[in-house]
Amino acid sequence: QVQLEESGGGLVQSGGSLRLSCAASGRSFTRYAMGWFRQAPGLDRQFVAAVNWNGGTTYYADSVKGRFTISRDNAKNTVYLQMNSLKPEDTAVYYCAAVQGLPKSQSYEYPYWGQGTQVTVSS
């Protein structure tokens, strides 16, 4: 029902900032809660942040709370992840995901996924 495409990944120094974007195709973007996940080498896919249909409710993993901000622009069918104060342990492939209804924190609860974008934070 929806296709997702991330952009904005890249290489950044420790302490720097980066903003990821996820563009969604099709109609009824507001039917979906949106999430960001990441997967570092050798680790499982990890919840990062999620946002409800209108952006009024957000959730964050403890590891990124206070540093990352998830937001959405429904007029543009786009969700964002603003990443500040980046650390080397933030290095991972970051994935955008969509689920109808309420936000979720487990990857298996999201049926729709983007292809991922690499974020590398150097020391």
Kindly give, in sequence order, each residue whose CB lies less than 8 Å from that of residue 122, ignoring residues fewer than 6 positions away. 11, 12, 13, 14, 88
Contact 92, 119 (CB under 8 A): yes
Instruction: Quick: pLDDT tens for 79-99.
Output: 999 999 999 999 999 999 999
Instruction: Quick: pLDDT tens for 20-57.
Output: 999 999 789 999 999 999 999 999 999 999 999 999 99
Which band of pLDDT confidence, cut at 50, 70 and 90, is reported for residue 6?
very high
Instruction: Calculate what percentage of the chain has a pLDDT beyond 90.
Output: 98
Phi, psi (deg, nearest 5) at residue 111: -85, -15
